[in-house]
Amino acid sequence: MMLDYLARLLLLVPLVGGLAFLSLWLYRRFQPGMAFGQRERAIRVVDAMPMGPMSRLAVVEFAGKRYLLAVSRGRVDKIAETDAPTFVVPDGE
């Protein structure tokens, strides 16, 4: 009787743990509302630099412009704005 209980326990505990891990992995992989695969985003974080324990500077690109933002715990301030650089691909001459 006790041996039967231990055999079931040793079989079912890893099975339940594996199913929980698989469900969390699938949820992260295919999050609700997200399109499958990569998609083009309207906003891109170019760079970020911590300035203290609760604040950072971030360069964000949006609609052909770059914005320098000061981000703190409860506030976001625009410090500067400039046009995003355009890169010219050489012809391969």
Question: 71-93: per-residue pLDDT in tens?
Answer: 999 999 999 999 888 776 676 65
Other Cβ atoms within 10 Å of 67 Cβ, number: 19
Per-residue model confidence as pLDDT tens digits over 23-70: 998 888 777 666 555 667 788 888 999 998 899 999 999 988 999 999
Mean predicted lDDT score pLDDT of the chain: 86
pTM: 0.52
Contact between 69 and 60 (Cβ < 8 Å): yes
